[in-house]
Amino acid sequence: MTNLNRALTVEDLTKIAVYSDPQFAPNGESYAFVSTTVNDEKEYQSQIFIQSTTTEPQQWTFGHDKNSHPRYSPDGKSIVFQSTRSGTPQIWLVPVNGGEARQITFFKHGAVNPEWSKDGNYIIFTAELNALDNVQDQKEQSKEERQHEKDQKAQEPIVIDRLKHKSDAKGFHDHKRAQLVLFNIEEKSFKQLTSNNTDHGYEDISPDGNLVLFSANLDDDADYQHTNDLFLLNISTKEVTKLTDGKGAYGNASFSPSGDKIACFGHEYAYSGATLSELFIFDAVTKERACLSESIDLQLGDVMIGDTRMGQSSAGPVWSKNEDKLYLIATDFGATGLYQADLNGNIDVLYKDNNHVFGFTYDDNTDTFILGISTPTNPCNYYLLKNSELTRLTNANAQLLDEVSLADPETITVTAEDGWEIQGWLLHPYGYEEKEKYPLILEIHGGPHAMYGQTFFHELQLLAAKGYVVLYTNPRGSHGYGQDFVDACRTDYGGSDYTDLMTAVDYALDNYDFIDKDRLGVTGGSYGGFMTNWIVGHTNRFKAAVTQRSISNWLSFYGVSDIGYFFTDWELGESRLNNPAKLWEFSPLKYVDNVETPLLIVHGEQDLRCPIEQGEQLFIALKHLKKEVEFVRFPGANHELSRSGNPAMRMERLNHICGWFERYL
């Protein structure tokens, strides 16, 4: 087989433009979006583009800054956005017909996620504030002042008095909380809307501009809970009304065009962290609730896993103009699509193919959608969907895609030991020739409640480019196949999920004679790292393994992870305090004596989700036993290393992974 194009490389990761956050202009004739790239300094930058539905995209922001979250004013004359151009994320305003952007916030700790009131008189945004901060006299710090404060903090002890005192995304928590702030356009004044000692998430504002819909946990015992309620805040009186009942997690909420109803996603943890989201409608006055999705076994929202998705995009629900329909993304059988729900609970597909709809925007005047779509061989593009016809609007990454050869995945269906069907995919190696034998690498996703599927995944394509057959599957515990399936791995880690994976490997060996059964590799991150550790402790059929940001010891994970104190109970059915012996049974560290597979351990030093001590314990145990093991630590990297980590470190990580498999396969 002759390849006309070159093989994909590690460095190509820095050449990919990633699109996100499409936003229709009020006239429905153009839209704004964000493009994130890696600049010459190997740092991320994000720029805002505007495109009419009949012309090429036009870049609106420039430089090495991060410009994002563009939102058109209701009259279409201005765009508000957030930018780091002053050194801290702040809110900026720019006229659509040309002119310089104007900075409107100078908050000490920044301001993010601006949204307009329906009449265009206000902008509401989120700011990190201390209890005594005054929004009227905020002063942005200089670069030198920020560095001085950082140096001071580095010399001070951290006092911890909360159970929830850290998170992988933010690090160790301080006394700042995410508060909602209103900016009056005409008066150029600020008004702090919330002040509770908790983080607040903006959801929407009522059409009459009187009520702000936000999400938070205002319970006194919030530190011990995982609920997220919806609240209505009266802007004039600051009176807060609780909309939900404190039993679940709700979000993605929005008012209907009349303001009479509120739609949202949510659930009440019936299956802990494996619970499918539902679509709810609330009466804005009576607070009565109806579930529109109770008759379908479908995961609402986008839970597709990839390593090139950056920036948020709407998954819905979005109201139709007449309030009789809601539009949303849903996840199903390795793909995501655009769906339509009516108020009687009927849900229909508006668009779905073998790809990944990662976001959309809707214009109610023309009944038109713009969809962001990724495929296994194309990172992203925008498409116009009107009257069921799909028209491509952008040609992102054209130069790179013309240069490289990418593998189209072959979908497989594997019958598990107990008869369940497991979906998976196989990538052929670059330069594939019949009658040749090729090594295979099994990739295992994290979560475990997530989904591999029909989206672009640089790491998978890279391994195929290096000459490997790449096998990736959705074993039980994955999303996309209904509630029973996603719940099936809980309390059974290393059980049927493990045999699902091994059955998939056996299927590949039985059905593809070009795979060399004596050259098998395995890798995965997070839960996929746990499963990699589990595999090498229970079989020696793999000749090389790479475990990434993994779990090796559930006993210590309970106390060191930002989620450990509840995750072990949710997923394993036991906590360290109740049944430590059972947690040890689930721990790969227990089985290190069995490991004969050369193992590379890859871990970020600032990972607070699966802390680096998990990798350290595994390395020391294996090294003490004189096993073939190597440990690669990434300074400053958290759990997101492979997805949104420092670009140079992401490439170095891939070099180590490829080097390990090259050495042993």
Identify whether 268 is part of a domain: no
Domain that holds residue 177: 17-195
Model confidence at 4, in pLDDT bands (50, 70, 90)?
confident
Mean pLDDT of 130-140: 95
Are residues 114 and 81 in contact, defined by beta-carbon separation less than 8 angstroms? yes
Are residues 486 and 456 in contact, defined by beta-carbon separation less than 8 angstroms? no
CATH value at residue 55: 2.120.10.30
So what's the pLDDT on residue 125? 98
Percent of the chain, pLDDT > 90? 96
Q: Which residues of 604-639 are buried (b: 16+ CB within 10 A; e: fewer)?
A: beebbbbbbbbbebbbebbeeeebebbbbebeebbb
Calpha distance 128→170 (Å, rounded): 12
In this predicted model, what pLDDT tens digit does every residue of 61-94 receive, in sequence order? 999 999 999 999 999 999 999 999 999 999 999 9
Identify whether 580 is part of a domain: no
Q: Is the pLDDT of residue 485 over 50?
A: yes
Mean pLDDT of 126-136: 96
Q: Residue 179 burial by CB count (10 A; 0-12/13-18/19+): exposed, middle or buried?
A: buried
Identify whether 289 is part of a domain: no
Calpha distance 390→383 (Å, rounded): 6
Instruction: Check: pTM over 0.85? Answer yes or no.
Output: yes
Domains identified in the chain, total number = 2
Residue of 68, 277, 526, 552 marked active site: 526
Is residue 313 classed as helix, strand or coil in its secondary structure?
Answer: coil
Are residues 443 and 524 in contact, defined by beta-carbon separation less than 8 angstroms? yes
Asked if omega into 317 is within 30° of 0 (cis), the reply is yes
Mean pLDDT of 364-388: 97
Model confidence at 576, in pLDDT bands (50, 70, 90)?
confident
Q: Is the pLDDT of residue 184 over 80?
A: yes
Angle at 389 between CA 393 and CA 456, to 5 degrees: 55
Model confidence at 140, in pLDDT bands (50, 70, 90)?
very high
Identify whether 635 is part of a domain: yes
State which of 166, 195, 224 marks the end of a domain.
Answer: 195
CATH value at residue 629: 3.40.50.1820
> Which residues make Cβ contacts (< 8 Å) with residue 131, sequence separation at least 6?
175, 177, 195, 197
Q: Is the pLDDT of residue 134 over 80?
A: yes
Per the annotation, the verdict on 639 as an active-site residue is yes
Q: Is the pLDDT of residue 1 over 50?
A: no
So what's the pLDDT on residue 623? 98
State which of 144, 170, 195 marks the end of a domain.
Answer: 195
Q: Of 169-183, 346-360, 564-578, 605-619, which gets the smallest average pLDDT?
A: 564-578
Least Cα distance to 182 among 124, 269, 241, 251 occurs for 124
In this predicted model, what pLDDT tens digit does every residue of 148-160 receive, in sequence order? 999 999 999 999 9
In this predicted model, what pLDDT tens digit does every residue of 594-632 receive, in sequence order? 999 999 999 999 999 999 999 999 999 999 999 999 999
Q: Is the pLDDT of residue 3 over 60?
A: no
State which of 151, 176, 195 marks the end of a domain.
Answer: 195
Phi-psi region of 527 (alpha: psi -120 to 50; beta: other; left: phi over 0): alpha
Mean pLDDT computed over every residue of the chain: 96
Beta bridge partners of 664: none
DSSP string for residues in 82-106 = EE-TTSS-EEEEEETTS---EE---
Q: Is the pLDDT of residue 117 over 60?
A: yes
Q: Which residue has the tokens 């700042």?
A: 176
Model confidence at 466, in pLDDT bands (50, 70, 90)?
very high
Identify whether 537 is part of a domain: yes
Mean pLDDT of 404-408: 98
Identify whether 255 is part of a domain: no
Identify whether 598 is part of a domain: yes
Identify whether 547 is part of a domain: yes
Model confidence at 577, in pLDDT bands (50, 70, 90)?
confident
